[in-house]
Amino acid sequence: MNIAKVIVDVPASSINQTFDYYIPDKFIDILEPGMRVIVPFGPRKIMGFVVGFVSESTFDKLKEIVDVLDITPVLTKELLELGKWVANETLSLSIIALQAMLPQVLKSTYKKELVKKTDLDLPVELEYLFAGRDIVPFEAFEQSNISYNKLQKVIQAGDVTIDYLVKSKITKKQITMVKPAKDSHLLEEALVDLSKAAKKQKQLVDFFIQKEEPIEQKRLLTILQTTTSTLKTLEEKGLIETYKQEVFRNPYNDDRFERTYPLELTDEQRGALNPIKESIEKEKHEVFLLHGVTGSGKTEVYLQAIQEVINKGKEAIVLVPEISLTPMMVRRFKGRFGSNVAVMHSALSAGEKYDEWRRIHQKEVKVVVGARSAVFAPFENLGIIIIDEEHETTYKQEDQPKYHARDVAIHRAENYNCPVILGSATPTLESYARATKNVYTLATLSKRTNDMPMPHVEIVDMRNELHVGNRTMFSRKLVEGMKERLKKNEQIVLLLNRRGYSTFVMCRDCGHVNECPHCDIALTYHKNSNRLKCHYCSYEENVPVNCPECSSDLIRYFGTGTQKVEEALTEIIPEATVIRMDVDTTRKKGSHEKILKQFAEKKADILLGTQMIAKGLDFGNVTLVGVLTADSMLHLPDFRSSEKTFQLLTQVSGRAGRHKLTGEVIVQTYTPEHYSIQLASVYNFSDFYKTEMAMRRKFRYPPYYFLALITISHENKVKVIQTSQKIVGLLMNKISQTTVVLGPTPSPIPRIKDRYRYQCMIKYRNEPQLRMYLNKIKEQFADEMRKENLLISIDMQPYHLM
């Protein structure tokens, strides 16, 4: 079989297929499915994935593979299959599905080098190639006549690795070291020769007379309070030497984590764990829904289930939402399983991510804890997949391939005959409905492990505040509560439910709002730069002095950004110190953690923030949680808005009184009678579930119906409308009677970056051919999409309905 089937890196729908290439002799023994190759494609050379081999091709005039990029496959057979499945499920291109499974480093342009990892001798040709060096460029190997087979053997033995250098940036971390270049008695002689004035130089030489070992340059400079110029001078005199040393990048230094041991489980925890253990033991695929209130010890159940999996020599994937992936979270897993844990987090650099991925790929770890894409971890002996906070919408990827990590997890677990645990205090209606129908196995943890009651929640009707003349955004009750806590040196968390709110500029005379000229959305006011910015494109402008509409100078800022709340807060309670956590203050890498650390160290009384503060925080000293605008999400054009409100209120309430001190929650709202607010305030999930299910049934939404959202966009509005109508017409011919097609209508944001947007929503119960119809429709428009820049985007499980 000397022909390879290759999926090429060309993102166009007409080429969602494999191409055949001859395999040159030198690659024939080493090439395996899942390896990346370089192939000629038209006038260009591009990357592709080998997915299989054949001995005959229906194409004529085959070209040859130019180069092989991997010595071991980057995608396993299972992942290749999974890629096909993902592409099909999400109606995306195979190449995009495959690339979604790999770290960034393997997608970009790169150089390769070979690194020798052993002190022992390699086979003689390879020793000759390395010639005493630890690292050689990959080209050196290609120019030699060593066979790929030989290289593959030493790589498989772990004696040599291939490293990728991203765009000339080194993916491995190096530090500069300094060491004495002479014996200490020679240094002593040199010391005498140094001029009296050269104090710093003398100090440095003296340092190495005392301590003859190498030291990291950065540390040396801080210890001696000196600069690199001193080092340079001494290096020129031949007294010291500097050199680069590679350090293995481990963003989470394992020594930092204190070892923890399995806890004696509560009855409820044991009740939840036992059937999971059985599923692991019997190698039987099963999905468990672990419904446990915040603080009920779900994580301990995960940890003990993973221990069971490791004992069987298998591997575990743990997914947590991006923003819960805090050092606190990592510590719980590293504390139990030490260096057996890899962490995949978007805050890691591309190189760090690659290192972690490689540790999984080379089977150096048994557990990966990570955000959404960690569901593709290249394990080959999976024993469990856990999704914590399963209700989080960030598990759905919003770019192609638009997959949901939950579906991928369940699909992989079916392949491996292993269990999946979905854990949450507020499960999605979809998952809970499946549990009530015994598609999933439900386990409930109803009590907190410390037996502390859930904090009391008080709902404050903000309309009454207006009636008594309180025009601030803080109710009297909340202000009182905050002052009380400040007196007792206790801390407060304030949540500004920011979605749907922003600071915009409006003319008080005519009501004119400044909008982005390219997108139909109000511009957001940024105080620091005093400019108006669009959050959908990069457009910005100065704040107008006069209204562009009526020339009035009564221009005012509206909305409640966190900055504004902070200002108002310091006016009302000047004695309080406030830390703000929102997109603006957490943009820099590590700033998120820094803010949390400051708050944990009690450097502030109040932590004020958006949604991101609702997750996973665990501060013993927080006794009051205030929600400023509980209903700001309720009125968004999204059928999940009640569910999201319920989830958020429950999550944030769980932040108070986690430890010895009892907590209180104050929820401010203009719609206190709404069931999601009422039921969240008494932690009544089951009534919420019933009420919301009735709504979903009535309005034909998930979990009763499936959804598919088609969005059509183009610069010409007429073209968008015409195309949308055509698409709906085509669909109507195919679909069954019970299926509903809504639209076409303008999208909630009708224009982004000068492109008009229309959408239609398909609601269906049973439409086995729908994916095929949609693919066909897309194919019909393929020419227009390519030539006229028409965009038809299909989301088979939409979460963002904007």
* Binding site residue list for Zn(2+): 507, 510, 516, 519, 534, 537, 547, 550
5, 54 in Cβ contact below 8 A? Answer: yes
Counting contacts by CB under 5 A, is residue 519 touching Zn ion? Answer: yes
Counting contacts by CB under 5 A, is residue 550 touching Zn ion? Answer: yes
| CB nearer to Zn ion: pick between 521 and 720 | 521
Counting contacts by CB under 5 A, is residue 536 touching Zn ion? Answer: yes
| CB nearer to ligand ADP: pick between 80 and 386 | 386
| CB nearer to ligand ADP: pick between 157 and 263 | 263
Minimum separation from the CB atom of position 392 to ligand ADP (A): 14
Q: Which does 536 bind (CB under 5 to 8 A by kind): Zn ion, ligand ADP, none?
A: Zn ion
Find the angle CA(536)-CA(539)-CA(542) to the nearest 5 degrees.
Answer: 130
The region of 88-96, 400-408, 515-523, 606-614 touching Zn ion under the rule CB under 5 A is: 515-523
- Please enumerate, by residue number, every residue annotated as part of a binding site: 507, 510, 516, 519, 534, 537, 547, 550
Q: Is 346 exposed, middle or buried (0-12, 13-18, 19+ CB in 10 A)?
A: exposed
Minimum separation from the CB atom of position 289 to ligand ADP (A): 14
| CB nearer to ligand ADP: pick between 295 and 370 | 295
Could you say which of 173, 249, 411, 518 contacts Zn ion (CB under 5 A)? 518
| CB nearer to ligand ADP: pick between 238 and 262 | 262
Residue 365: HSE in the Cβ half-sphere, 13 Å Cα cutoff: 26
Place of tokens 């000397």: 2
Q: Which does 300 bind (CB under 5 to 8 A by kind): ligand ADP, Zn ion, none?
A: ligand ADP
What CA–CA distances, in Å, run from 173 to 110, 349, 355, 547? 16, 11, 10, 54
| CB nearer to ligand ADP: pick between 69 and 272 | 272
Residues 494-513 that bind Zn ion (CB under 5 A): 507, 509-510, 512
Q: Which does 507 bind (CB under 5 to 8 A by kind): Zn ion, ligand ADP, none?
A: Zn ion
Rg (CA), the chain: 30
From residue 595 to residue 614, the character string flagging contacts with Zn ion as x (rule: CB under 5 A) and all else as - is: --------------------
| CB nearer to Zn ion: pick between 241 and 515 | 515
Site residue total, Zn ion (CB under 5 A): 15
- The C-alpha atoms of residue 394 and residue 323 are separated, in whole angstroms, by 10
Q: Which does 650 bind (CB under 5 to 8 A by kind): Zn ion, ligand ADP, none?
A: none
Minimum separation from the CB atom of position 265 to ligand ADP (A): 5
Minimum separation from the CB atom of position 298 to ligand ADP (A): 3
Q: Which does 263 bind (CB under 5 to 8 A by kind): ligand ADP, Zn ion, none?
A: ligand ADP
- Closest-CA residue to 289 (of 306, 303, 275, 300): 275
Residue 666: HSE in the Cβ half-sphere, 13 Å Cα cutoff: 20
Residues engaged in binding ligand ADP (CB under 6 A): 263-266, 269, 292, 294-300, 449
481, 626 in Cβ contact below 8 A? Answer: yes
| CB nearer to ligand ADP: pick between 161 and 449 | 449
The residues near 603 (Cβ < 8 Å, ≥ 6 apart) are: 577, 579
Could you say which of 3, 384, 534, 731 contacts Zn ion (CB under 5 A)? 534
Q: Is 705 exposed, middle or buried (0-12, 13-18, 19+ CB in 10 A)?
A: middle
Q: Which does 642 bind (CB under 5 to 8 A by kind): Zn ion, ligand ADP, none?
A: none
Counting contacts by CB under 5 A, is residue 539 touching Zn ion? Answer: yes
Minimum separation from the CB atom of position 301 to ligand ADP (A): 8
520, 751 in Cβ contact below 8 A? Answer: yes
- Closest-CA residue to 19 (of 10, 8, 33, 34): 8
- DSSP conformational letter for 65: P
Counting contacts by CB under 5 A, is residue 552 touching Zn ion? Answer: yes
Asked if the peptide bond before residue 637 counts as cis, ω within 30 degrees of 0, the response is: no
The region of 40-48, 545-553, 587-595, 704-712 touching Zn ion under the rule CB under 5 A is: 545-553
Q: How remote is the C-alpha of 425 from its chain's centroid?
A: 21
Minimum separation from the CB atom of position 541 to Zn ion (A): 11
- The C-alpha atoms of residue 441 and residue 466 are separated, in whole angstroms, by 48
- Strand extents, DSSP E, 402-508: 420-424, 441-445, 456-461, 491-495, 504-507
Counting contacts by CB under 5 A, is residue 537 touching Zn ion? Answer: yes
Counting contacts by CB under 5 A, is residue 558 touching Zn ion? Answer: no
Minimum separation from the CB atom of position 294 to ligand ADP (A): 5
- The C-alpha atoms of residue 40 and residue 61 are separated, in whole angstroms, by 13
The residues near 86 (Cβ < 8 Å, ≥ 6 apart) are: 92, 97, 100, 401, 403, 408
- The C-alpha atoms of residue 776 and residue 791 are separated, in whole angstroms, by 15
Q: Which does 295 bind (CB under 5 to 8 A by kind): Zn ion, ligand ADP, none?
A: ligand ADP
Asked if the peptide bond before residue 744 counts as cis, ω within 30 degrees of 0, the response is: yes
Q: Which does 537 bind (CB under 5 to 8 A by kind): ligand ADP, Zn ion, none?
A: Zn ion
Q: Which does 598 bind (CB under 5 to 8 A by kind): Zn ion, ligand ADP, none?
A: none
Return the HEC string of 221-252: HHHHCCCHHHHHHHHHCCCEEEEEEEECCCCC
- Write out the residues near Zn ion by the rule CB under 5 A: 507, 509-510, 512, 516, 518-519, 534, 536-537, 539, 547, 549-550, 552
